[in-house]
Each structure stands twice: as C-alpha cells, then as structure tokens.
Structure 1
C-alpha cells in the first residue's frame, strides 16, 4: 500500500473511480490488524486504488471528513466520499464495501 498525500487523494477523486484512503496512527494496535487486512485486499484486487497515511501528518483530512478515530477507511465513488469505516470486520466485509 502506497503512502498518499492529500494531493494523491484529490487526484483519485478526480479520476471518479472507487478508491479507498486508509488512515492510521503508528501506535494503534487495531490499525496494524487493519493494515494486514487491506494488504490481502490489495493482493486480491490490485487494480483498486488504496492509499494510506498517518493521520498525525494530515490533520486537514481528519477535519474535512470528520474522522472520529483510527483505523478509518474513507471510501469514495465517482469522486465523492461515500463512507467511513471504523470497524474492519473481515476481509470479505471490506471487499463488499469496496465493490
């Protein structure tokens, strides 16, 4: 999973495709598990744009999208943010959300 900047996220919004932006913090244990789940998804769906960023360094995103906790997966479709996921229940659950 590539590290994204705010500009990278905005570029994927302009592309008007399904994309996900994974927000985490380094000391978050749940975030480590979520990262592994997203790595599996990346392997299964390599064409799906998924980026990640340490929320400590992109606080503008936290404010703009009203991120309440980490891990957080921002999902966008057709250039518009449509969902925030905080509970990464399972790989099949996330695949369904990203379809």
Structure 2
C-alpha cells in the first residue's frame, strides 16, 4: 500500500480510476490494526489499487468526502466516491466486501 500525495489522488481521480483509498492518522491505534488487515487483504486481491492517505495532511479531503472517523476505506468507482467503510471487522470480511464492490 503506497502513501499517496494530493497529486497522486488527483491523478487517480482524473484518470477515472477505480480502487480504494485508505484514510488514517498515524497516532490512531485502530488505524494501525486496520492498516495491517488491509495489507493482508492486498496480498489476497493484488489487482485492486489501494492508496493510503494521512488525513492530518489533507483535512479538506475529510470535509469533502464527509469522513466521520478514521480508519476509513473509501471505494472509488471511475474516479467518484461510491462507498465508505469504517468497521473493518476482519480480513475475510474486507476481502468479501471488496470483491462484492469490484
């Protein structure tokens, strides 16, 4: 999972990309667990693009996407936000949720 800059995200959206954006803050303990779960999920679903964004550096993104809390997994479909997930629950749950979307 690569850390995305503002430019990376803008390019992905302009190219009408479909994938996931993992929103987190570094001092959030739940975010650390969720990030590990997402890393495992990435290995199971290697064809899905996943970007990682520290919301401390992009608070305007949290407002724009109406992010209620972190961790948050944003599903992008052709450059548009299609869904958000806050409760990661387990790796099998994440895999199932992502597969049902893509």
Q: How does 1:1-99 map to 2 (within 5 A)?
A: 1-99=1-99
The offset of 1:97, in angstroms, is: 2.3
The offset of 1:86, in angstroms, is: 0.8
The offset of 1:12, in angstroms, is: 2.3
Contact 1:18 1:98 in 2 (8 A): no
Unaligned segments of structure 1, at least 5 residues: none
How far apart, in 2, do the equivalents of 1:97 and 1:7 lie? 27
Corresponding residue pairs, total: 99
The offset of 1:17, in angstroms, is: 4.2
Unaligned segments of structure 2, at least 5 residues: none
How far apart, in 2, do the equivalents of 1:90 and 1:17 lie? 26
